Structure 1
């Protein structure tokens, strides 16, 4: 898509295959051509498979009209919401010890919970410092000098840029509009004249060298080379030494819980506490997320330390401080939770029965909707307008309200309806129907958008079925063990500097 929309390959607003072929045969950088070939060797089979999977996806006018109505039919309601906790006081409901014990025995599976691990850790951050930033800036200036001397931008981008996606396109970011990129980049790009090359521009991603290709209003096309800011030189050597010390002194300790404290003291680093880890979730060592630690935590014994674990910008050793087992807790631990559950169910039933009795009074005209609200210590509120597809925050968690609202005539009272959070009565105050003429006018656009969504859903369904049928074996622990053994063998080699012994 980027190639077909590139301005240099356009004739009268259409992709010109002849221009593209001339470009490929006109001495284009071989590395760029190789990158393009590798990309399209992946993309073309993927596109063919996509076409085969979605060939029979079809949407009728009737289905599209219903979808349009879901978006444009609207209703405004007078709504009486009766919430059990507000309508019935706790003092009006009695819960006996026998009821608590019986409920616990009959609903044990509802109280089952996953195990929770509590971890502490030492972290060696691999964030860049001022010296690293200066080195990256110097590199960016050297690359700019190369470009200013006549080097091909695409070739240099494919060799130097840390943005591997655009590097494969010779640094081309395609045609874009204002607001897509970070402000630092965008301000610098839009300040250039077409064909002009920027000085190094600092952003959260590093230093950019930007070449503006074209600009028209808020639309522009640019290329860039990103020089990332990462630890280097003496700083990298220092970090490697710290990580080696942490690995050697604290990692994989099975019988010495104090090893982590000793390593922290030697390194002058604090021992931090991770957020509680529920089995099956990832470890949150803020601001980092460390998936591998979540696997290790539930295989370890209390007091053990983890292998050295590398995340994106830090290395860690964790210690399992305590573990709350999974399963059903004993009743004394959750007695109040069980009592509240019974209390809520009794309140809901009391409200439901009162609502059923009140419905007859409402139907006969003995009471109005506002008078009925007083019985429940509630008020009638106006909600909407809302549509079936976009019910809005007031009723989006209660499908029963949305479904019933569009089945009532204006002025007709419906209810009682039992929902997730309470019991409801409603009265439509205003209805608006979708405009069939407007539907026909936009049908082609709607069909194209809906087909795209339906095709993507088909692909997700097929992929989901393949994953469900796949026989997946988790061998991450074996791979981690093999990596550690390889690192240990490397450390035993004579003459290998410490900062080169670690694969990371």
Structure 2
């Protein structure tokens, strides 16, 4: 077994020196961590990548994530968002896009890796594509899930196209093939030590007021934060019911009659269809085979006489009018008009009246009691900011932030309100109770002091821990066994692996220095 002293500072350079106590990097906008070829890297994108990696690591490690593991995940998240920006720039340069038909085909035939592991999609322990497709076609696949899958494949399909373009016709030498095989198959198992700063450098570190003031002056611009509100929300969703479906079918029948009366199908599609991928092309979907469309659409497309416009076809995406232009064997060339499933005007009026009643009751009874009276969902402790205003089930809650900011800065002599008026988005009506508000801008020295003090203490402890780590490396190189070095410092030898160069162990992360040490250190060296 190879011996590796894992000096747990791999992610430190980027994330501890490159980011300040507000979680931002120098030189970027208030909500950006940096720029790649002029394109900003938003903090929200980094945070989303980090949260995904963190949750995956928790599942794999089966417990709490140490600070050292968090740093490795931070570096991996940073690398991921930088790679995303570079890929997006290259796809823009090449004009690579994904059609709706391509997205549907990918979603049905190439399931997301997390879904492959779900027991409901397995037969005798193996993934069952038929079960997965039945799920997509059934009532359990709600619109929220379908929208999430669409977003995933709208990103994944262009990447796949880019990869095929880059690798098409590329010559791969035997040496490159050997390296690729080695990277994927050669594995390592390592013994290592974690060097927690608080154990190596226990106790407190003295930080002076002068040090804090100096750091505040040096990093003042980097401390800028967007306006942020923590709120309790009551949601009144704009769900679709049978009456809304009937209205969409009626509209589709009207358009079908218009086309039967001589109107051009493509012109009507450009005017009426809500499918962004085909609307400007007159509804054209291109050529597709069986299994690429939802069953309702597929049945109509493979049974319609060529040239005839279908009766309204209801699918999870809305109501379709379909016209088959050509059919050869199991391949169909077709176009369609998509009418969305949405609330009718009368239903929206009733929903709006209910929202008004909710607002009046909340003014006197409060958000929670009003929501209970109306049987609505309540969410507490929801954080929204100008940088990240999205709330599931609502969409953008930016109006709530603006309201909170106005209430905290009002100068008319009236007390600040804690309950908002009702706000409306495309997805829902909602009302908010303000729990806490932090205005945009640079925090005062007093407000920033706790964070700066903690940062300076971490830096001092880290510097001392690095010195101790270097002393331990010297002991190992002089022949002292790893277990003995560990006992002297009150540490425990841990084992990671087996893992490969391209699929490192979550405990160590993907830092090049760590992976290089694992595969470059002699066995038992």
* TM-score, with length taken from structure 1: 0.50
Bigger Rg, which one = 1
* TM-score, with length taken from structure 2: 0.48
